[in-house]
Amino acid sequence: MDAQEASRIWGHAENYVRVFIRQNPDKFPDGSVRKIGKQWVVTTEGMEAITGVKDPRTQDK
C-alpha cells in the first residue's frame, strides 16, 4: 500500500511513513518498503515493525 494510506490506516499523520523512512530506514524489515517513482510503498509487515501494532484492519471489532 502507499505510505500515505498506510499512515492513515495505522492512525498516524499522512507523512508518518515518509518521515520514519528518512530518520530510521534500518527499522524496516528487508523488502518491506520501496520507492516506486516518487511514491513510497510499504507492506503490512513493515508497518507492524515500525509501529509495534498489528494491522488495524484485521482487529476484531
Domain ranges of the chain: 3-56
Find out whether 47 and 10 touch, Cβ atoms under 8 Å.
yes
> pLDDT under 50 in the chain at which residues?
none
3-state DSSP call for residue 35? Answer: strand
pLDDT of the residue at 61: 56
pLDDT of the residue at 7: 97
pLDDT of the residue at 59: 78
Give phi and psi for 17, each to the nearest 5: -65, -45
pLDDT of the residue at 47: 97
Considering the entire predicted model, what is its pTM? 0.89
The residues facing 39 across adjacent strands are 36
